[in-house]
Amino acid sequence: MKATKTPKKNDTTKISLGRVHPRLDATSDAPVKLILPVLYILGAVLIWNTQAEIAASTEKIEYISPIAEFAARNIFATYLIIAGIAVTILILTPIGKRSVQDQLKSIGLINHSDAVPELKSKRKDKKNPRIAIWEFTSQGIPLKVWKDKKEAIETALDITIVKMKNGSGKSRVLIHAVPAVSDLPEMIKWKDKFLSKQSFMLNLGESFTGPVTVDLARVPHILLGGATGSGKSVLLKLLLMQANKKGANVCIADFKGGVDFPPVWHKECRMCFEEQSTLELLTELTEELERRKALLKASGLPNIDHYNAATGENLQRYIFACDELAEMLDKTGLTKDQKEIVAKIESRLSVIARQGRAFGIHLILATQRPDSTILNGQIKNNINCRICGRADNVLSMIILDNTDAADQIPEDAQGRFLLHDGTIFQAYWFDDTGGI
C-alpha cells in the first residue's frame, strides 16, 4: 500500500476546498444516507393521516391530464412510488459525486476522451472504521497514473490517502482514505502495555490504520534511515529495548564511543566501539549460526522456534545493531589493514543477512548518510524491512529504492517514518534515561 504525504495543518488550499465543497470528506456516506429511509417513512405516515384532507382540497381542481388527476386522487400511492424512486437514487448515488468528478477533472485525471472517473460508492472499511473506501470506475486510466497523481488527488478531495489499489478488475479503483484533518499525532509516548505478547513481534508506532509492527520471525532484518533529528536513533533504541525485554541477546556497534547510549545499555547489551571488536563479535555470530545450522539439520526442524518448542531448549535470538552504518563500513582514508578488517565485517554481515532468519540471528542497521557505496547490494537485497524517516532524495533512494520519504515526510517532522510497503507512521517516543 503506497503511503501518503502527511497533510500540513496550515494547508490553505485544502481549507478552501473544504469550504466550497463541504461534502468532500473521507467519511462514509452511510450515516447521512440512513436519514433518507427515516424521512421517507415519516412522509408516508404524514400523507396517510392527511390523505382525506388532501383529496377534499383537490376535488374542484381541473387537471391537465388523466395521469395528473390519478396522481392527485391517489396521493398516498403516488408518494410511495415517486418518493421511493427518489430515495433509492439518492442512496445509490454517492454524496458529492458531481463535485468529486469536477475536482478530479481539475487536476487532469481524465482519459484520452476527456472522460472523468466516476465515484460509484463511499463506504467504511469493515476492518478499520476510521478509513473510508472510495470506489471509482477507472475510465481506462491505469492505477499507476492514479498513484502518480496521489498528492493532487489528496488536495483536490481534501483527504489523506492510505492506499490505492484495483477493485474487482482493473476497471475499478479503490482509494482508502481518512480526512485530511485526521493527521497523526506529533508524538506518541511508549507505554509498557504496547509490548507485544507475540514471540518476536516488535511495535514501531501508529499509522492511520492502527499499530505498525514487524515480526522478526518472518522479516528478520531491518534497514533504518533518516536525517539528523528525524528520530532514527530513538526508533532504533525502541526496537532494541523491545528485543531486550523479549530475551534477545542485543549487540550494538557504535563507533561514536557509545555516547548516544546511557550506561544502562552498556550493562544490558554487548557494545563494540571499533572495527576489530566488531569483527570479533560478527565472527562469533557467524560461528553460532553454523552451530545452529548443524543443530537444526540434525533435528530435522526448519527454524529456531520449532527447535525450541520441540526440544525444550531456549536458544536466544541475537540482534546485531549499528546506529551509523557509514561509520562502520566507510573505507575512506583507511590503511590497507583497516580496509581488510572492514571487508571481513561486510562479509560476516552478508552471511547473517542471507542466512540469519531461520537461526534467530538478526540485523538492525541504521544510517543517516546518503552514500550508496556504503551498503553493498548483497546485504541490502536480503533486508526486506526498510524504514525511512525525513531524508533527501539520495538517502530515500538508498533505503526505499524510491524518493517517497523525501516527497512525503515534512521537513520539520520528527519520529515520522515511511515503511517499505508505503505505510506512513508516527514512531513511539521512547525515553531511555530511566532505563530499558
Q: Is residue 285's pLDDT more than 70? A: yes
Task: Map out the domains of the chain with their CATH numbers.
Answer: 12-29+94-179 (3.30.980), 32-92 (no CATH), 188-434 (3.40.50.300)
What is the per-residue pLDDT across 53-96, written as a single tens digit (0 to 9) for each? 877 777 767 777 787 778 777 888 888 999 888 888 776 667 67
Taking phi over 0 as left and psi of -120 to 50 as alpha, with beta for the rest, 325 belongs to: alpha
What is the per-residue pLDDT across 193-238, written as a single tens digit (0 to 9) for each? 999 999 899 999 999 888 999 999 999 999 999 999 999 999 999 9
Q: Is residue 12's pLDDT more than 60? A: no
Q: What is the DSSP string of 85-127?
A: HHHHHHHHSPTTHHHHHHHHHHTT---TT-PPPEEEEEEE-SS
End-to-end CA distance of the chain: give it in Å, rounded: 33
The single-letter code of the amino acid at 328 is M
Distance CA 303, CA 102 (A): 56
Q: How far is CA 206 from the centre of its chain?
A: 9
Specify the higher pLDDT residue, 343 or 22: 343
Average confidence (pLDDT) over 392-410: 91
What's the Cα-to-Cα distance from 390 to each of 4, 117, 161, 162, 409, rounded to whole Å?
A: 14, 34, 19, 19, 6
What's the Cα-to-Cα distance from 424 to each of 205, 218, 418, rounded to whole Å?
A: 10, 21, 4
Distance CA 56, CA 61 (A): 10
Average confidence (pLDDT) over 148-177: 91
What's the Cα-to-Cα distance from 288 to each of 237, 352, 353, rounded to whole Å?
A: 24, 10, 14
Range in 103-112, 168-177, 327-336, 365-374 with the lowest mean pLDDT: 365-374
Average confidence (pLDDT) over 256-269: 87
Q: Is residue 21's pLDDT more than 70? A: no
Q: Which three cell numbers stand for residue 125?
A: 472499511
What is the per-residue pLDDT across 306-327, written as a single tens digit (0 to 9) for each? 999 999 999 999 999 999 998 8
Global confidence as pTM? 0.71
Q: Which three cell numbers stand for residue 386?
A: 526498510
Handedness of CA 44, 49, 51, 54 (dihedral sign): negative
Distance CA 388, CA 225 (A): 5
Q: Is residue 357's pLDDT more than 50? A: yes
Q: Going by C-beta distance under 8 Å and a sequence separation of 6 or more, which residues neighbour residue 356?
A: 220, 221, 289, 362, 363
